[in-house]
Chains A and B, each alone.
Chain A
């Protein structure tokens, strides 16, 4: 719906830049959850140095959250164009399966295997991009196809088995998910680099502007000379690339390619992270750092539940609550109707 949300016409009371205002809520939510854990969950903030790297629940959150953080980077750009990518979980499974097959089973050199895996992921993204940009299929349905078929392809690759790769033979592949850099798990470094590159690429060039304009109003952006089709095509390719990296980390993390379970339902977590981060599903302005914080929030929630012996069945309930609260806080209509008496208008 190309309806203007009226968001930017509201005077911002604190005169903060838009991105800072958007970051406020997810950061606040994360801080609250961490504060709760500091008081109520023993050992949550314990950090120690083991074998020369940091060890503790906080590090686990970063480490396990890395997959969704990376997915969220790609998803943010897709959602900014008004689309959505449901296929990321399946692409993760393909990436893991392919990596295990070529690098472990067929003993390709790591670099060649990596190139092949990421190349295939780019193709998967191009497939989605083609359906959405060229054939103009609605993104949900277009990516649903790969979501359904992709996991089948991953199982086909591994013949339905879990492919375990043994330690000494594949140091590089194992390092991806288990190595350390500067005392932190290597996936964290991957996230940092990818986030920095994505921010640079979208904010230091006009690319980000193009993406936002396509999401805001495709027709208008077309008339102002933006190649809407290419922009759309590219975001799906990028999203699949991110999914590929996340898939490699997921497989490396457990030293096995589990086609049936890798990345299952992670598309929902990724979408959730993006929305918590302040990007609207209708497209337009996007917030990469917000999405990463959103992913951290989701992972912190999960780790909290594990640490506190709460039965994992109820994980969906706090997630539902988080979605509703975040949506409400970001809804201009909610602010207008409910919050108006509490928010002082800047003169």
Chain B
């Protein structure tokens, strides 16, 4: 009997070892033509939205195109996972570390470790809150506050400065939710006739966007709402359904402006149900690896690289739709 237990234990150990070895097909970085291959560690937030998915694919595709070896780690939206991945990158001795931080706070210690190890850091998509700017080389990404302002400015132009706005906020505490609200309100400050009369979090999801907007429409102020500002397209797409179910015309009875510029938003604009989507470009890959190559070559790079982004409204949507990659 005891012999069997011994066997079981042995098998268990071998099983674990075997599992790790089984999927073994990728080799170590090869030195092609005498030139050392650049190795980049990239820690992504997760796969929580279409936007993020497009972001990941852009980075992976660009790395493959340039022959850069990419170590990709998915944090599953958890900061602990992300920090552990960054530490793994230090151990792997990668040439450059890039990451999209899950939240703004809490990066000081691990960034110090990375700095001690002499690895340059690129922040992608979201910024971090650190007291020492030298902890990272550059930040490439959209300016969320500016996106909020753009949405606000478009609205001012469209409505002539008069609007009763319902706002669907992103996940509470997340950088895009905070900044997009901030930028939007900045513009509203100068237009006293534009007021946010309803505001609630829709968690960046379609389901919550729809549910929350249904309740907005049924509240006493519901009849007055003539503008919807959503922190992302998905919530706006959910809200559009709620508006239709209430017997109103989205895009006509209620103007809708949202942020991100995903494909679904363009389709809605073509159908006349969404009025404006402020682009937040996820295709950071090319610009990011330009920076990587410059850093490895020892060239100077700017501390802040803003991604090129546009504002699209209904009139441009049809033309732009076929070119949208995400």
A contacting B, Cβ–Cβ less than 8 Å: yes
Flag whether B88 is at the interface (Cβ < 8 A).
no
**Assembled-state Cα–Cα distance A255/B271 (Å):** 16
Measured between beta carbons, the chain A residues less than 8 angstroms from B198 are 309
Residue pair B201, A312 in contact (C-beta under 8 Å): yes
B103 to nearest A CB, angstroms? Answer: 16
Measured between beta carbons, the chain B residues less than 8 angstroms from A303 are 215
Give B36-58 as 1s and 0s: 1 = Cβ < 8 Å from A's Cβ atoms.
Answer: 00000000001111100100000
Nearest B residue to A41, CB-CB: B219
Measured between beta carbons, the chain B residues less than 8 angstroms from A46 are 218
The tally of residues in A whose CB lies under 8 Å from a CB in B reads 32
Flag whether A128 is at the interface (Cβ < 8 A).
no
Residue pair A155, B205 in contact (C-beta under 8 Å): no
Main SS of the interface on chain B? helix
A195 to nearest B CB, angstroms? Answer: 22
Residue pair A162, B172 in contact (C-beta under 8 Å): no
Flag whether A36 is at the interface (Cβ < 8 A).
no
Interface residues in A286-308 by Cβ distance below 8 A to B read 303, 306-307
Give B188-217 as 1s and 0s: 1 = Cβ < 8 Å from A's Cβ atoms.
Answer: 000000000011110101110011101110
**Assembled-state Cα–Cα distance A303/B198 (Å):** 15
Residue pair A161, B200 in contact (C-beta under 8 Å): no
**Assembled-state Cα–Cα distance A262/B212 (Å):** 16
Identify which of B48, B49, B207, B211 contacts A306 (C-beta below 8 A): B211
**Assembled-state Cα–Cα distance A261/B46 (Å):** 12
Residue pair B218, A254 in contact (C-beta under 8 Å): no
Flag whether B322 is at the interface (Cβ < 8 A).
no
Residue pair A253, B210 in contact (C-beta under 8 Å): yes
Contact A60 to B214, CB < 8 A, known contacts A256-B206, A258-B205: yes
Identify which of B211, B216, B234 contacts A64 (C-beta below 8 A): B211
A213 to nearest B CB, angstroms? Answer: 35
Residue pair B206, A254 in contact (C-beta under 8 Å): yes
* Residue of A57, A253, A258, A306 with highest tally of chain B CB at under 10 A: A306
Flag whether B6 is at the interface (Cβ < 8 A).
no
The 7 closest A-B pairs by CB, nearest first: A306-B215, A254-B206, A261-B205, A160-B47, A42-B220, A57-B218, A160-B53
Measured between beta carbons, the chain B residues less than 8 angstroms from A60 are 211, 214-215, 218
